[in-house]
């Protein structure tokens, strides 16, 4: 709750789930659902903790892209506003790419998508060697959304090279 509260102004700009400050009960429900999805092998969510302080500084997750696109996974992440630009999101995303290609059978590609105007989020796939596939129109559902989504992808063969 402290990490979300400290980052609410920024999370509110980009994240649909943070349009109002989540209650403790809503966060507990989310974590229980996230655990069930993990156990069902559908979505794998992780908390990011800072080693020095032990504080929660964000979260990252890996999920199946869709029931149609069965050879792809997607990564999502957020980092507490006062801990950005320290490599937490990049390190988490890199770990999830490695885990996805190692542990999930028949995966050929992993994607990261975000609003094109979210410069901090765009920096992560670029840093990790993802290929920029382009911008696609998307619905504006938060105050920070531009109406354009940026889509990035890394294929197994590029990762393994």
* C-beta separation of 115 from 71 below 8 A: no
pLDDT one-digit tens code per residue, 78-105: 999 999 899 999 999 999 999 999 998 8
* C-beta separation of 46 from 59 below 8 A: yes
Mean pLDDT for all residues in the chain: 91
User: What architecture does CATH give domain 2-160?
Assistant: 3-Layer(aba) Sandwich (3.40)
Lookup: tokens for 86? 């320290």
Task: Quote the DSSP letter at residue 16.
Answer: G
Query: How does strand 56-64 pair with strand 109-115?
Result: unpaired
pLDDT confidence of residue 69: 77
User: For 31-49, what is the mean pLDDT?
Assistant: 92
pLDDT of 19 > 90? The answer is no
pLDDT confidence of residue 91: 96
pTM of the model: 0.88
Band (pLDDT 50/70/90 cuts) for residue 10 is: confident
pLDDT one-digit tens code per residue, 111-129: 999 999 999 999 999 999 9
Q: Which of 33, 54, 55 is nearest to 45 (CA)?
A: 33
Domain boundaries, the chain: 2-160
For residues 115 and 121, give the distance between their C-alpha atoms in angstroms, rounded to a whole number: 8
């Amino acid at each position: 709750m402290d990490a979300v509260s400290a980052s609410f102004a920024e999370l509110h700009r980009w994240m649909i789930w943070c349009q109002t400050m989540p209650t403790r009960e809503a966060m507990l429900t989310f974590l229980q659902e996230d655990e069930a999805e993990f156990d069902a092998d559908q979505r794998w969510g992780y908390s990011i903790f800072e080693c020095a302080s032990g504080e929660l500084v964000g979260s990252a997750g890996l999920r199946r892209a869709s029931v149609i696109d069965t050879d792809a996974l997607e990564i999502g992440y957020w980092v507490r506003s006062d801990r950005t630009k320290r490599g937490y999101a990049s390190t988490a995303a890199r770990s999830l790419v490695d885990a996805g290609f190692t542990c999930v059978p028949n995966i050929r590609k992993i994607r990261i998508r975000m609003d094109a105007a979210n410069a901090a989020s765009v920096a992560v796939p670029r840093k990790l060697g993802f290929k920029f596939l382009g911008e696609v129109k998307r619905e504006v559902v938060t105050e920070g959304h531009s109406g354009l989504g940026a889509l990035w992808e890394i294929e197994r063969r590029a990762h393994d090279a």
